[in-house]
Amino acid sequence: MITYLIKMSILNSKINYTAVEECKIFIRPIRDVIEIIGGKWKLPILTALSFKDHRFKELEKRISGITPKMLSKELKDLEMNNFVHREVSETSLVMVTYSLTEYGKSLDNLLVLMRDWGINHRKKMTSTYR
């Protein structure tokens, strides 16, 4: 029988595992993270919202190059994951305001770690090859 063991570590442990484990236990949650913050526009949107709440049009103007279609799609994704709050207030015109949720802000810790790792990696790569 195959023994199913959960590794606390992913790459440093010598515990055997099956292809199933490889996929489900380690990879899926990491993929989730990548899906959540990956793509071309998720991070620009999140950082924009971290500064202040934005209306749809404001975001569109601030994030240069984004189309309303993509903005709409990405905002929906972020809202579905509870990172972004969407609030409609009908004055005379339709007005929709997007804001970061507390949960959205809690992404920050992870983002900082990823950023620092990335900065370090880039340093390493550029210093190695010259």
Partner DNA sequence: CGGCATCCCTAATGATACTG
Partner DNA sequence: CAGTATCATTAGGGATGCCG
Interacting residue ranges for its own copies, rule: CB under 8 A: 8-17, 19, 22-23, 26-34, 36-38, 43-44, 46-48, 50-51, 62-64, 81-82, 100, 103-105, 107-108, 110-119, 121-122, 124-125, 128
Q: Are 7 and 15 in contact (CB under 8 A)?
A: yes
Helices (H) and strands (E) in the chain, counts: 7, 3
Calculate Rg over the CA atoms of the chain: 20
CB of 78 to DNA, least distance (A): 12
Q: Are 62 and 48 in contact (CB under 8 A)?
A: yes
**Contact characters 6-25, DNA, x per CB under 7 A:** --------------------
In whole angstroms, give the CA distance from residue 111 to residue 11: 21
CB of 8 to DNA, least distance (A): 28
Indicate the residue among 97 and 99 with the shorter CB distance to its own copies: 99
Q: Does 28 bind DNA (CB under 7 A)?
A: no
In whole angstroms, give the CA distance from residue 14 to residue 21: 14
Applying CB under 7 A, the residues found at the interface with DNA are 39-41, 55-58, 65-70, 72-73, 75-76, 86, 93-97
